[in-house]
Structure 1
Amino acid sequence: MRYAKLGNSGLDVSSIGLGCMSYGAPSTGDHSWTLGEESARPFIRQAIEAGINFFDTANAYSGGTSEEILGKALQDYGVRESLVVATKIFGRTRPGPNSLGLSRKAIMTEVDASLRRLGTDYIDLLQIHRWDNRTPIEETLSALDDVVRSGKVRYLGASSMHAWQFSKALYTARIHGLTQFISMQNHYNLLYREEEREMLPLCADQGIGVVPWSPLARGRLARAWDETSARAETDEFGKSLYGSHDQPIIDGVGAVAESQGISRAQVALAWVASRPGVTAPIVGATKEHHLVDALRAIDITLTETEISSLEAHYTPRAIAGFA
């Protein structure tokens, strides 16, 4: 396993992060395809044994049970101090006002709730899951700075938003002497490359680490165009992200995979991992070969000809994943 600094910070993360949205009680939240605790734990152990030290979840995943499953596993395996535990706040976790967004009240409440579910004293990387149009950014940044200074959080990150919004947050934190963001978790893969226009250049300029979510496009890049999966059939959010114009790109992934004698997933992940500025793609795993593919992908070098063939059929897309 290789490790790299996350952005301009001193924090070392593995070249692959394990995304834990796939783990949670199927009866809670919006994803009926998630794995419960007993089924999820082997994947967490497999990741740790492979050298992955970066684990990503969110307070809203499966009604908070994703955080609970990850936290219990890390406690039982006794490896908490050597790992980077990342979670996110913004989504609604309970009914009523002040249960959504990035107000001071919501941040303070949700950080404490995540700590309880994770069973830990601190969060290594706290990420704002989305931009909150209802709360002044100064209030959000001040509250985030306070949770860092309290010792409950070590570092701050952000997730999908417009580049102008992230730029505003970076600038506002800087001029007020508040804790800076070190990472951006954005939607980026062969089927969605709009981040190359503004967000990725912004992150490169500002020394922000990039940890893309959905590097396999919710599994679409890991299988042939005419194949499907249980998740694909029930993932309503995923259905809104991609369309029929993706087929030539998916077919191209298949052609490179066949020529190299490797899996489609390895091709797609190798492409994302090799992109300038990308630190660690966030990969989900619900089958044993998912992590095997991810680990092999970081050692695959694609030729310029292969990269050109993978990128040739991309056309501009509407903003997807957060707007």
Structure 2
Amino acid sequence: MTYTRLGSTGLEVSRLCLGCMNFGSGEPWMMGDRDASVDLIHEALDLGINFLDTANAYSAGESEEIVGDAVASANRDELVLATKVYFGMHDGPNGSGLSRKHILDQAEASLDRLDTDYIDLYQIHRWDDDTPIEETLSALDHLVETGRVRYIGASTMTAYQFTKALYTSDVEDLSRFACMQPEYNAVDRHEEANLLEACAGEGVGVIPWSPLAGGFLTGKYERDAEPEDGVRADSDDYTRNRFTDENWAVLAAVEAVAEARDATPAQVALAWLLHRDVVDAPIIGPRTSEHLRENVGAVDLRLTDEEVERIAAPKTPRWPVPEKD
């Protein structure tokens, strides 16, 4: 494993971040096996991954609990734990959003589930139109000032919203977002026309979610065949929505490069992201030891500029994202 700094901070993170959304039982495609989830986290740590990303909303806190169990014996000084806040955690008033009350309440709940004294990276999961950004940033700054959080980050919003938050932090002398978590992969490139330029200009770290497009870029789906029972696209439109002519052309390029380089399509897709200067650590979501080790193999795969361009060629990044037919 190799390591990098998160954006312009001094925080060292592995070039791959272990996404922990699969560790729970909230959806049919999740692992649904606590012991196997803990074992997979232990294996990731053994392979040198020191960066884990979860959220309070993943299986209603179950993912955080699993992560907390798994890292109890790890070297906390080396570990970077990231979690998120925004989505609903209970019915009724103040159960979701980015108000000061919800953020502070949920930070304490996440600390309890993770069984840790502090969160390394605390991220807002979405933008909250109903709460002033000054209130949200003030609450996050309080968590940093009191030592409950080390760095703050954000996920999935417009470049206007993100830069408004950054500049508000600057003007009000509040803690600044150090990291952005956007959807980004070789077929979902809309953030190149939205957030990524802002991140590069502002020195903000980038940790893309869905680096394999919900499994599409692994090559396990065929253009003219129905998905097999039990795979994500069988029950989830997120992956099926990638079944477009442009995206099949990208996948064909990924598969051709993989064959020429004696690698797998997943490794090539991850290596393509790691080649992007703005990207620090793609968030991988393996469900098996085999998938984990395959993903880690991408760190040592160096693509040529021609291979990178070949994979990029079929797509033209656009923002807003064009509506699918």
TM-score interval, normalised by the smaller of the two chains? over 0.9
Whole-angstrom distance in 2 between the partners of 1:128 and 1:214: 17
Which segments of 5 or more consecutive residues in structure 2 lack a partner in the other structure?
none
Q: Counterpart of 1:298 in 2: which secondary structure?
A: helix
Which segments of 5 or more consecutive residues in structure 1 lack a partner in the other structure?
none
Q: Counterpart of 1:95 in 2: which secondary structure?
A: coil
- Residue 196 of structure 1: CA displacement? 1.1
- Residue 109 of structure 1: CA displacement? 0.9
1:287 aligns with 2:288: yes
Whole-angstrom distance in 1 between the partners of 2:243 and 2:141: 40
- Residue 239 of structure 1: CA displacement? 4.1
- Could you tell me which amino acid in structure 1 is paired with residue 89 of structure 2? T
Whole-angstrom distance in 2 between the partners of 1:214 and 1:288: 18
- Residue 224 of structure 1: CA displacement? 4.3
Q: What number of residue pairs does the alignment pair up?
A: 315
**Structural RMSD (CA):** 1.6
The aligned counterpart of 2:169 is: 173
1:263 aligns with 2:264: yes
Q: Counterpart of 1:126 in 2: which secondary structure?
A: strand
Q: Counterpart of 1:81 in 2: which secondary structure?
A: coil
- Residue 12 of structure 1: CA displacement? 0.7
- Is 138-147 or 288-297 further displaced after alignment? 288-297
- Could you tell me which amino acid in structure 2 is paired with residue 284 of structure 1? G
- Could you tell me which amino acid in structure 2 is paired with residue 194 of structure 1? H
Please list the CA deviations of residues 129-187 of structure 1 after superposition, one character each: whole Å capped at 9, or x if unmatched: 00000100011011110111111111101111101100000000110000011100110
- Is 86-95 or 226-235 further displaced after alignment? 226-235
The aligned counterpart of 1:18 is: 18
Which residues in structure 2 correspond to 1:1-323 (within 5 Å)?
1-24=1-24, 26=25, 29=26, 31-35=27-31, 36-75=33-72, 77-226=73-222, 228=227, 230-240=231-241, 242-245=242-245, 246-316=247-317, 319=320
- Residue 79 of structure 1: CA displacement? 2.5
Q: Counterpart of 2:315 in 1: which secondary structure?
A: coil
- Normalised by the length of structure 1, the TM-score is 0.93
Please list the CA deviations of residues 166-222 of structure 1 after superposition, one character each: whole Å capped at 9, or x if unmatched: 000000011000001110011000011111123111111111011000111011100
Query: Percent of aligned positions with the same letter in both sequences?
Result: 48
- Could you tell me which amino acid in structure 2 is paired with residue 288 of structure 1? S
Q: Counterpart of 1:82 in 2: which secondary structure?
A: coil
- Could you tell me which amino acid in structure 2 is paired with residue 193 of structure 1? R
CA contact (8 A) 1:224 1:251 kept: no
- Residue 253 of structure 1: CA displacement? 1.0
Whole-angstrom distance in 2 between the partners of 1:256 and 1:58: 34
Q: Counterpart of 2:217 in 1: which secondary structure?
A: helix
- Is 280-289 or 300-309 further displaced after alignment? 300-309
- Normalised by the length of structure 2, the TM-score is 0.93
CA contact (8 A) 2:193 2:318 kept: no
Whole-angstrom distance in 1 between the partners of 2:10 and 2:304: 32
Whole-angstrom distance in 1 between the partners of 2:157 and 2:208: 13
- Residue 14 of structure 1: CA displacement? 0.6
